[in-house]
């Protein structure tokens, strides 16, 4: 299975999201975690993630249609050291608004470097769930992806995994380089978004 996705819109204003019936699956992670590479590995359309990296879009929420009733939502990378405080605050407000207020959101794919494990910033994103209005119904599904798994040496795998399981998280180990986990991730996305 390969996803065919197409760019729909880029939103940098809180609340100005598309009006449609699609179920949305959002991808979030720190800058440099490998989000663009993972997007490219997940979808067919060449250069799709590059679209999100064009000037003006790196700080935006980028929407991609996926088949007839799904959408992938690329959230801006946060925690970039070179980013000014104002930009970081603006991104934080936008990401928080999207994750807590966006009704069609069904699943959050949180990307964490496989060698690092989740830190406070990532755990805080996962806990935003609690701030969604109760009338939105079912809680959103969360899928944690441990990125760049090819960089974890075989002897270090268990230690790396423990940094996730210590927080009750079972990550999908993924590598955009050698393809590990990509198909499992596609299946999980379809399963949780359609459910
Ligand atoms: P983004 O800022 O989160 O979109 O991250 P990028 O996808 O641009 O990747 C950041 C850096 O990590 C680049 O140098 C990529 O080549 C590298 N990278 C991304 N994914 C992988 C991976 O699965 N394995 C390895 N070894 N490197 C990766």
Residue 52: pLDDT band by 50, 70, 90 thresholds? low
CA–CA distance, 121 with 119 (Å, rounded to integer): 6
pLDDT (0 to 100) of residue 172: 98
Q: How far is the CA of 35 from the centre of ligand 1 (A)?
A: 7
Full DSSP string of 121-160:
HHHHHHHGGGGS-GGG-SPPEEEEEEE-GGGS-GGGHHHH
φ, ψ dihedrals at 23, nearest 5°: -85, 135
Q: What's the confidence (pLDDT) of residue 48?
A: 72
Look up tokens 């979030």; give the residue. Answer: 28
Distance (Å, rounded) from C-alpha 109 to C-alpha 58? 18
The residue nearest atom 10 of ligand 1, judged by CA position, is 32
Compute the Cα dihedral for 16, 18, 19, 24 and give only its sign. negative
Question: What pLDDT shows up at residue 189?
Answer: 94
pTM of the model: 0.94
Specify whether domain 5-193 bears CATH 3.40.140.10: no
Ligand 1: which atom is nearest the Cα of residue 37? 7
- For a ligand 1 pocket test, name from 28, 31, 37, 178 the mutation site with the most ligand atoms within 8 angstroms of its C-beta: 37
Host H or E run for residue 66:
strand 61-66
Return the structure tokens found at 25.
Answer: 């699956």
pLDDT at 166: 97
CB contact set of 194 (below 8 Å; sequence gap of 6+)? 23, 70
Rounded (to 5) percent helix, strand, coil in the chain: 40, 25, 40
Three-state SS at 57: coil
Instruction: Look up residue 7 and give its two tokens.
Output: 């760019």
Distance between Cα 183 and ligand 1 center (Å): 18
Tens of pLDDT, residue by residue over 127-162, are: 998 999 999 988 999 999 999 999 999 999 999 999
Shortest-distance Cα residue to atom 26 of ligand 1: 148
Where residue 20 falls among pLDDT bands split at 50, 70, 90? very high
Our CA dihedral for 135, 67, 75, 157, rounded to 10 degrees, sits at: 100
Q: Which atom of ligand 1 sits closest to the CA of residue 32?
A: 2
Q: What is the pLDDT of residue 51?
A: 67
> Which residues, judged by CB distance below 6 Å to any ligand atom, belong to the binding site of ligand 1?
29, 31-37, 77, 147-148, 150-151, 175-177
When the pLDDT of each residue in the chain is averaged and rounded to a whole number, the result is: 90
What digits encode the pLDDT tens for the residues 60-111? 999 999 888 999 999 998 776 667 888 888 889 999 999 999 999 999 999 9
Separation of alpha carbons 109 and 132, rounded Å: 17
Give tens-digit pLDDT for 159-182: 999 999 999 999 999 999 999 999
How far apart, in whole angstroms, are the C-alpha atoms of residue 171 and residue 181? Answer: 10
What residue segments make up the domains of the chain, in order of their start?
A: 5-193
Residue appearing with tokens 């690329």: 74
77 within 8 A of 33, measured Cβ to Cβ: yes
By most ligand atoms within 8 Å of CB, the mutation choice from 27, 28, 32, 34 for ligand 1 is: 34
């Amino acid at each position: 299975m390969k996803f065919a996705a197409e760019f729909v819109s880029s939103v940098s204003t809180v609340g100005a999201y598309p009006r449609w019936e699609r179920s949305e699956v959002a991808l979030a992670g720190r800058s440099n975690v490998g989000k663009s590479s993972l997007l490219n590995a997940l979808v067919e359309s060449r250069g799709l993630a590059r679209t999100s990296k064009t000037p003006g879009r790196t700080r935006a929420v980028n929407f991609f249609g996926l088949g007839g009733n799904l959408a992938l939502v690329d959230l801006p990378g946060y925690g970039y050291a070179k980013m000014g405080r104002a930009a970081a605050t603006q991104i934080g407000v936008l990401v928080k608004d999207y994750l807590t207020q966006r009704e069609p959101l069904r699943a959050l794919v949180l990307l964490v470097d496989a060698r690092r494990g989740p830190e406070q910033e990532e755990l805080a994103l996962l806990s935003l769930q609690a701030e969604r209005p109760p009338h939105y119904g079912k809680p959103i599904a969360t899928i944690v992806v441990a990125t760049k798994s090819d960089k974890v040496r075989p002897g270090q795998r268990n230690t790396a995994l423990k940094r996730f399981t210590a927080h009750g998280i079972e990550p999908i180990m993924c590598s955009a380089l050698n393809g590990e986990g990509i198909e499992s991730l596609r299946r999980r996305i379809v399963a949780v978004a359609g459910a």
